Structure 1
């Protein structure tokens, strides 16, 4: 059901574009706010307004908001290539293939880790939002490698706390364009949503603190293989940080990678793999660690860049 809202424009939005003002006021994405305006469902002082019109404090805003989307469901669905590395009464550790999201989300119609694990018969913790129960951290759909899910309520609580307090070891390998200078270092730059693209993130003043450590393992003519350790876990953190340094992950066209190089290496996604994951087991307190080999597409690309060097 749609909702009609009528209110004066707050002082803090003075001079802002209407689409940005609606996004700020009602928690919409910029795209959704623009859709409301383009549908003729927003007016200022009784006059239909365009998305680029500037709002004035005290002007009367009338807007009809769309009904919120139904929450996505996490139905059991077999996921080819999803491999269980370890499982017990508290956790399931999986090796995630490419093209699989961590959990259902609006707009995503592909397979998910949550659905795949459920289809294998594993019981997942009921803590967390309905569509992401048991999920204590995530990988992008285009990133492969290790994820842990909680299968008990105790494990969910303890693992969420461990990730929040940075007590988990998360090690990635990334093939990035060019040669980062210095060859070993730390990127400490805040990340938030891209100011003009809802589906991307960027280094933004005032964003969430984000820290990435890296070390060069091999340098090639066109690229470098890095070992990357995350101190924080922001969405797209590795991809955003190395793009900001002008060394995007090879194949990551979303964040500025060279499409010619990607095609030459046979890549259709970012060269990024979660290859090692370590944490205190939530039941025993013992340190456990898991490793994952490169999937075929990343290994092939790496072999090709080595051969060119």
Structure 2
């Protein structure tokens, strides 16, 4: 793994042994059954839901939410939230720490992730993403108008779209600068007047005595070793979500102003965990 931040040692990946492997099995097997069993149920329900409701998804998001809530019980990771998820139509923007974000953000509020188009073709993950209603975008400016139409249709259907404005995951201890280009679509005439944005902070508290970046997954880190390390932990830390007040896009005069506001809110929610100052 190559560190993304200068002058910082790379995190040490622990190698499970003895009883660690017992915990891996006792947590990993139920987690796999939960995720893939939930996916199977979701796909079956979607066979009925799709022809009846189209883009509307009144049933399947509840399955995703139940699976994600239960995942934290299986992992033994305490999960808590503060603040109120918005009711308005719009998007959620959050800091990005790793694969656990998917469970954390879905567990409290039904959201639909917005991801780069390449993810759709990834083995396993792409299939899972498509099944749960992920919106795939191509960063080609020639397709911007079509993507705005997709956003408008999904937002009009009451979907909350989830963006990671950092553009990549971090080590869970910092907020990287938000890319304002990701906010440009919000200012399209078709969206600006009715769209709201809610900043959300993901806080990962590591197990006692563990590396502070224990739950962070970024850069060239491989998924399997990180998953095994999380499953093997004798004691877990905890995950906290902070929902900040939503803001209306039309109250801002530019995408840069909106991005700066959201970044400041998310950074404030991370509090003393945030070690990024620029």
Q: Do both share a fold (TM > 0.5)? A: no
The structure, 1 or 2, with the larger RCO (C-alpha pairs under 8 Å, 6+ apart) is 2
Q: Normalization by structure 1: what TM-score?
A: 0.25
More helix as a share of residues: 2
Q: Normalization by structure 2: what TM-score?
A: 0.27
Which of 1 and 2 has greater Rg? 1
More strand as a share of residues: 1
